[in-house]
Amino acid sequence: MKFLIAGAGAIGAYVGARMAHAGCDVTLFARGPHLRAMQERGVEVQSTEGDFIAHPRIAASLEEVGPVDVVFLAVKAHGLPELAPHLARVLGPDTTVVSLQNGIPWWYFQGFGGEWNGLRLERVDPGGVISAAVEARRVVGSIVYLATQITSPGVVRHIEGNRISLGEPDGSRSERIRSIAEAMIAAGLKCPVTTRLRHEIWVKLLGNASLNPVSALTRATIVQMVRDPGVGPVIRAIMEEVEAVSHKLGMELPITIDQRMAGAEKVGEHKTSMLQDLEAGRPMELEALVGAVVEVGERVGLPMTVSRTIYNCTKLLAKTV
């Protein structure tokens, strides 16, 4: 199989390096100093599991890649509207597209069934540009449970985690998803195939939609937020609103709010990805992680009072820094 990592930032470069190191046919599409460093020296991975240097093909444009079997969309959600219209250059008749984005993905309501079937979220897919570029039949979803960081151009530090759950939107265990999972497992990644991906997305959103924006507003670590007598209840209130949205959609979550709060506390003195982006001057994943949850909640008739307040405050913060 021929793989393309479209958006070889910290996550994409790490996954691509792992796959190339294992002998997979993989190309990394990147830009800027990171692109040039990888072209010259390969991808250097620093990890407690062992350092290594991989030499995948590195592309500066999608035109030079051509059609592939599998495209991993590894840009952050706010980068997809810009990337999506150019993907036609690498899509063959049967190319599979794996979304690696956090939050509610653009494809979430495609084939959902019932009242909300086909709902497009403006905050995730403005103008429908992504869904127009990537047909629903191509999509395999994922949930990423790993943390990486680009410490310098061409150098990726693996911080923790190695799991990427894959799931067909229709809950099936297809041959294509098994083949993709096998390649990723051979590369040293944990890659379970789930039949309940839509449910699991909401489990991760419990933390993402609450801890991320509040951390950007407070500059606090995860344990500081959940232990704080004033902020902890705010985190819990947002989680309760997220849970209520999931229930409206028929998603019963396999974890309670108490369990999620306890799990967050165990993470310790860790900064969320949104706070890290804010401190580094990068755009925050606000719409996919928070704005989309508010949008869905209001569409299904929930007030989303706390979530909307925190979302609006964080959105103003993004405009003023």
Catalytic residues: 204
- Give the three-state DSSP class for 93: strand
Count other C-beta atoms under 10 Å from residue 161's C-beta. Answer: 13
Q: Where are the beta strands (DSSP E) in 127-228?
A: 139-152, 155-167
Q: How far is CA 284 from the centre of its chain?
A: 12
Instruction: Answer for the pair 169, 139: CB distance below 8 angstroms, yes or no.
Output: yes
Return the bridge partners of 72, or none: 5, 98
For the range 135-138, what are the long-range contacts, defined as Cβ-Cβ under 8 Å and sequence gap of 24 or more? 136/107, 136/110, 136/111, 136/169, 138/91, 138/95, 138/96, 138/97
- Give the three-state DSSP class for 315: helix
- Give the three-state DSSP class for 128: helix
Q: Give me the residue label for tokens 């590195």.
A: 58
Count other C-beta atoms under 10 Å from residue 159's C-beta. Answer: 15
Of 173, 255, 285, 266, nearest in space to 227 by CA: 266
How open is the CA angle 151-157-160, to the nearest 5 degrees?
140
- Residue at 40: amino acid letter: E
Instruction: Answer for the pair 231, 218: CB distance below 8 angstroms, yes or no.
Output: yes
Count other C-beta atoms under 10 Å from residue 247's C-beta. Answer: 14
